[in-house]
Structure 1
């Protein structure tokens, strides 16, 4: 009996001492709050809510959690048996009226596939949460890239033909992007989706440097993460209407709420955009840069128990737009195809010697259906996650090929992608530990049929007709260990087994190649003070190779995969009560088998070849200064020097190869030598219900060598663009006035050795009205 009484007396103590990992959300007026601090009272054990207001923390049952956020009242919650906690914050009028200028709140990201503040992540990361996205007017990755050092994205030739450059690594046509593109944790296989319209987002971030250990193949230059807003437990609706020059019409609807309170939630987001265009085909007297896009996204989330959560997402995109509207020299446009190339455009269109004048009206279209199923099962200390996704992209282009007024050459292309992904992850949930880890496995199957034809007068011939199949099986792991309170070591490794098959329907050939790749990553970070982080990283990245339609003087039957060994040191600092933030890094990459795109002159066959060795060296820094309660000054700058060191040989048969060593010590083509952004941001409250948000960004793109000889005839000078946005908010109504390329700067997004140029969009202005209810 005495033993039984002793045990009964100890039970409350044992229960209180039990550790438990609880999850929850923090919101205000139904909207999630990112960056809220949640700390176990009397300890240093704490976490911060992510971009969707979610958090997980490990603590003892009976422990008290303190919840705090600038401008809101502090709260305390006691951990009980319930594994889920929902917290509603209340505004603190005294804090809001305080004359003391508050510092910048930390933006939460997920670059290492776990929620962490950008300022404590030992990587070069730029991120915007939902509030930052809205205030900066970000609606696609291209205008997000304008705000990021050493990143640029543009679209040319047709919808879905993108060109992304990151830290001196360019994307080439008909090839994968040099980044992993990830939406809601799912790797998107088709780079044509990079420049889709973005809306109803919780986060967009880019992490730079090879990220193969975390994201797999093609993350040779980094990764772009996009996270949608999640379904909410309270009913929310938002309607958006907009109009701008070029008959730019925008309409959107977002609706979110609970089908069954605390159990089943939905979110429906849809957007329609129409733009008639501003660039004119002088011969046909038609606008050529038109664009129409309709997007519908639906999400369902099920909290089946305190441990099991499931979500389903489906999205459909239908895009139509102009294609192949290249500029030529006016003197060439009046002659015939053979005159083009003899009288080149100036690579700087401000000189005024360019005109769009073609006999064929080009157009392109893309349809995309995407769905994923995310299952999460949580125990006290670990989480098992399954992500299954399917993506189907259909893309079609028709247009001119000689780009002049004479009926001579036309082109047509279909380029589709079907991909299936299955990923399993096992991750640590404990927050009060020195050792953090994640493990997983990944399978991907991609099928890409590609057909391209040219038309000469009334004759058509196929240039390429093949089906490419990629299969990837990978295992990966990533670990963090706190060697001391200030020093943390991280290591990751991913093993990819890739198989690539090409069924050449045009030439009746099949090819196959296999490649096993290890992608390691090691990192050391030192939190020297509360506000200063120093770090050093090494990472290896890989971008897959493939096969060309045939052997030509410009390329071989196959082209090799790229590899990058990157070394980086950086720092992150904040001072003046977080009113001044300065982050920077220096990097060096040893690059092998850099891929380059080429088109043969006789039959316009496209293909890729490799340069043996290249080097990349550069630096970047990012500053934020809160000068006063109403003014922020933002500035970033990136510089990169990407050079070919050993060209090697390519194309033809043995003894007749093309010598690429003539390009040794030349700058890599398509890469801006530097870029910068100077921004001003202001938030002015007029009263409790009315505020004014102002944003101005002046961004510059440095000199670009369009081909590898670095000839001045194919080099564009630096140019700058000015954008601005003003938003008045009155309760649940917002009215925005926006303008892009205010100074109407002419610039080329692409310039060809043949003397053709692809003009950027002229000045655009408009207004957007949003009503939430």
Structure 2
């Protein structure tokens, strides 16, 4: 009965949208003529206009990125309906939640992230500075047929600006109330007849925004350096050789939690006695070869990534030593350290048929190899500070080791894929894709015997123990598109997404069982999601009004959820055997007069746990789900003089009620965020004042099982100036 009601609601939504779109153009005819340019997206692996692409996509071109001040993933996600980003604990842990498909600590990502045609293989890479970016596309819904095992919720495609034929560059500098300062810049141009380059970089240094009242300093200082270089060589007609190299070094702090029962409780200040550290270093390099001719295009992308992250800080319950829970019971306090090192290579070989034919197809192969080491441990807090622990337990008398777990993983995954697009006639089109992924994972226990959990009634872990598991799945996707008239696109289809399973650290299954926690084992299962979707895209003939909407229903097996086991201080993943997710998005863009752009978006998500080991949780919402997102924005550009323009922009976002754990023990009230920008610009320079979280909404960015809450950043404001040549 519920499914029929949902289907009827979706039909009413889409039908009403179509009628509205057909009626509104009459009123829009008197408005000023829109710019002729359209956004070309490549999220479906074929270049097409945003409005002609049969998928729910939110796209930001270079002009939108600049006007909105998009500098980090949270900035563009905050402008996208039915997508949220939860930032917590440390820089590498930022969870994308898209249409109810969630992410957790140490898990595979919920979306495939593709940067300049190269898929990120480590979720800890995602949350970093965005600079010198040409376009961002957020594609919603399972895209496994196109992007593989981690595209279960969708895909995010980021494209950097390309090398230029003439020497050009841009420099930006700004200050904020951190007190912080930042600089960003790029330089591009030719080296020879067939060789072009582009280099870009950014530096951000701030004292932070969240006060640690115990240490009388900020808890979130940042020093962040990012560098990128691109060399494009055209040695022969149709042949492109693209070399890329990137480096990132972030130094900040982590683990400044509070412990509360209610996620809405923001009364407690940060009072950790250890400032700790969070240092993350990333290297990446890639070689992209592409050869095009009348036969089509053959491309190969070979990439290598390396990430190292160390984080240290206070431990539960994140209070000064005399006030801490451990000190009250045992006479000593704890701090903690986690070390992560990931090295990965990947290679994709692809053939694409000519794009000007009614029938187009793509076939290819993909391989990725990953080596990962992770250690987690608690040390006795002697008051001398917290010292990082890497691959062996601490022997420092000022930092005695209390608990220590370490594992290494050696993973290899491969896939074969194909997709086709058949344009039957000017009104009808069929897209189909199929991909097979197989992921083989080997986990070696590196925890010294003395630190292995020993739970009566469960097998004792063994140092050097090798665990092996393979996860595999077919991922099909079929979409039917119908254009009854030029300015309306209707589409609908079915897709299946897959996210690999993996290993919790050795022995946690026994610890979880002995503490009565259901759904957590040494191995967590792969997740599979099947989605039915229907959508409409409409636009007036003068492009002054655009209205797009989509409705979806997803059945997910083995959805991830997070559990912190205090008994051995480990972060673990469990599975929800079966859940149902339903919802819709609606987005509108209007330009009533030249220079004025108005946008609005609404996303709604309803989830329901259908099966779980503890029957009390059946019927609950999935963790990290927000009931809805509401976006609205106004961007206005008007000339002041013949050469100078005034630029004004305001964006509003409301995040609906949000649940955090399978128990639904607490839910966060709706959050309202307003960002604003005001500046003047010419073709060569600009000066802009900005504010993020203008009205200083105070809220907790995350609630984690056990009562851990992580504060969201309060108001940030400043001014920046740019010059380009």
TM-score by length of 1: 0.82
Query: Do structure 1's residue 386 and structure 2's residue 386 form an aligned pair?
Result: no
Structural mapping, 1:276-295, within 5 Å: 276-295=207-226
- Could you list the runs of 5+ residues in structure 2 that have no partner in the other structure? 1-29, 323-332, 382-398, 448-461
2:644 pairs with 1:690: yes
Structure 1 residue 753, shift from structure 2 partner: 3.6
Q: How does 1:616-635 map to 2 (within 5 A)?
A: 616-635=581-600
2:267 to 353, 361, 365: 353
Q: 1:459: Cα distance to partner?
A: 3.4
Aligned positions, number: 644
Is 2:346 aligned against 1:421?
A: yes
Q: Does 1:496 align with 2:437?
A: yes
The reply to whether residue 666 of structure 1 matches residue 666 of structure 2 is no
Q: How does 1:461-480 map to 2 (within 5 A)?
A: 461-480=402-421
Q: By how many angstroms is 1:380 displaced?
A: 1.4
Match of 1:396 among 310, 318, 336: 310
Residues 314 and 260 of structure 1: CA distance in aligned 2, closer, same or farther (over 3 Å):
same
Higher alpha-carbon deviation: 211-220 or 729-738: 729-738
169, 175, 179: which one aligns with 2:107: 175
Are the counterparts in 2 of residues 312 and 372 from structure 1 also a CA contact under 8 Å?
yes
Tell me what 2:559 maps to.
Answer: 594
Q: Which of the pair has the greater relative contact order for Cα pairs under 8 Å at 6+ separation? A: 2
CA contact (8 A) 2:589 2:597 kept: yes
Partner of 2:477: 521
Q: CA deviation at 1:558?
A: 1.0
How many Å separate the matches in 2 of 1:365 and 1:663? 38
Partner of 2:384: none
> Post-superposition shift, 1:419?
0.8
* Superposition deviation, residue 687 in structure 1: 3.8
What is the Cα deviation at residue 462 of structure 1? 4.0
Shift of 1:353: 2.2
Check the 8 A contact 2:472/2:500 in 1, yes or no. Answer: no
SS in 2 for 1:119: coil
In the aligned structure 2, how far is the partner of 1:271 from the partner of 1:388? 25
Q: How far 1:307 sits from its partner (Å)? A: 1.8
User: Residues of 2 paired with 1:169 and 1:383: CA distance?
Assistant: 34
1:105 CA displacement: 3.8
1:440 aligned onto 2:355: no
2:580 equivalent to 1:615: yes
Instruction: Give CA-to-partner distance per residue, 1:691-733, whole Å, 9 cap, x none.
Output: 122111010111111222223xx21100100001123112301
Residue equivalent to 1:302: 233
The aligned counterpart of 2:26 is none
User: How far apart are the structure 2 equivalents of 1:250 and 1:366?
Assistant: 19
Structure 2 distance, partners of 1:445, 1:397, is 25
Kindly indicate whether the alpha-carbon contact (under 8 Å) linking 1:595 and 1:609 is maintained by their aligned counterparts in 2.
yes
Which deviations, in whole Å up to 9, do the C-alpha atoms of 1:391-420 show, x marking residues without a partner? 000000000012101161111001121110
Distance (whole Å) between structure 1 residues aligned to residue 600 and residue 212 of structure 2: 38
CA spacing shift, 1:104–1:645, aligned 2, 3 Å: farther
Residue 148 (str. 1) matches residue 75 (str. 2): no
After TM superposition, give the deviation of residue 751 of structure 1 in Å.
1.4
- 1:326 is aligned to 257
1:501 CA drift (Å): 0.7
State the distance in 2 between where 1:104 and 1:589 align.
Answer: 37
From 604, 609, 615, the equivalent of 1:639 is: 604
Distance 2:35 2:403 in 1: 61
CA distance in 2, matches of 1:244, 1:345: 34
Instruction: Establish whether residue 450 from structure 1 lines up as the match of residue 381 from structure 2.
Output: no
Structure 1 residue 161: Cα displacement:
1.2
CA shift, 1:498, in A, is 1.4
Counterpart of 1:762 (choices 702, 714, 720) is 714
Determine which of 264, 267, 270 is the counterpart of 2:201. Answer: 270
Deviation at 1:104, TM superposition (A): 7.1
Task: For residue 236 of structure 2, give the secondary structure of its aligned residue in structure 1.
Answer: coil
Moved more, 605-614 or 133-142: 605-614
Return the alpha-carbon distance in structure 2 between the equivalents of residues 716 and 147 of structure 1: 20
Retained in 2: the 8 A contact 1:376–1:384? Answer: yes
Q: What is the CA-CA distance between 1:600 and the residue it aligns to? A: 2.0
Is this contact kept in 1: 2:471–2:526, CA < 8 A?
A: no
Pair 321,104 (structure 1): closer, same or farther in 2 beyond 3 Å: farther
How far apart in 2 are the matches of 1:298 and 1:462?
42
What CA distance in whole angstroms lies between the structure 1 residues aligned with 2:31 and 2:436?
54
Question: Which among 145, 165, 170 is matched to residue 213 of structure 1?
Answer: 145
Looking at structure 2, the residues matched to 591 and 478 of structure 1 have their Cα atoms a distance apart, in angstroms, of: 24
Distance across 1 between alignment mates of 2:423 and 2:60: 28
Deviating above 4 A after TM superposition, structure 1's stretches of 4 or more consecutive aligned residues are none
Q: Deviations over 1:129-181 (max 9, x none)?
A: 11110111111111110110110113211121112111011111111111001
Matching residue of 2:631: 677
Distance 1:535 1:105, change over 3 A: same
Q: Distance in 1 between matches of 2:307 and 2:168?
A: 31
Task: Write the deviation string for residues 468-491 of structure 1: whole angstroms up to 9, x where unpaired.
Answer: 122111111110001222100111
The answer to whether the Cα contact below 8 Å between 2:403 and 2:568 also exists between their aligned partners in 1 is: no
Cα separation, 2, equivalents of 1:434 and 1:198:
37
Please state how far the C-alpha of 1:671 moved relative to its aligned partner: 1.1
Q: Deviations over 1:569-624 (max 9, x none)?
A: 00000126211110000000011011212122322233222111000000011000
Residue 543 (1) aligns with residue 499 (2): yes
SS in structure 2 opposite 1:214? Answer: helix
Structure 2 Cα separation of the partners of residues 436 and 494 of structure 1: 17
CA distance change for structure 1 residues 468 and 104 in 2, over 3 Å: closer, same or farther?
A: farther
| SS, match of residue 631 in structure 2 | strand
The separation in 2 between residues aligned to 1:687 and 1:304, in whole angstroms, is: 46
1:476 aligns to what SS in structure 2?
strand
Deviation, structure 1 residue 303: 0.9
CA contact (8 A) 2:561 2:623 kept: no
Superposed displacement of residue 123, structure 1: 0.4
From 519, 523, 539, the equivalent of 1:558 is 523
> Are 2:288 and 2:300, in contact at CA under 8 Å, matched by a contact in 1?
yes
Q: Is the 8 A contact 2:551 2:584 kept in 1?
A: yes
Aligned to 2:80, what secondary structure does the other structure show? coil
**Paired position in structure 2 for 1:26:** none
How far apart are the structure 2 equivalents of 1:522 and 1:602? 47
Q: CA deviation at 1:504?
A: 1.0
Q: Which has the larger radius of gyration?
A: 1
Alpha-carbon distance in structure 1 between the residues aligned to 2:104 and 2:196: 42
- Counterparts of 1:423 and 1:755, CA distance in 2: 43
| Contact 1:463–1:605 (8 Å) recurs in 2 | no
Unaligned runs of 5+ in 1: 1-97, 329-343, 650-659
Tell me how far apart the structure 2 counterparts of residues 126 and 102 of structure 1 sit (CA, whole Å).
19
Q: Is the 8 A contact 1:181 1:194 kept in 2?
A: yes
User: In 1, are the aligned partners of 2:309 and 2:339 still within 8 Å (CA)?
Assistant: yes
Q: 1:145 to 1:137 in 2, by over 3 A?
A: same
Find the partner of 2:57 among 125, 131, 135.
125
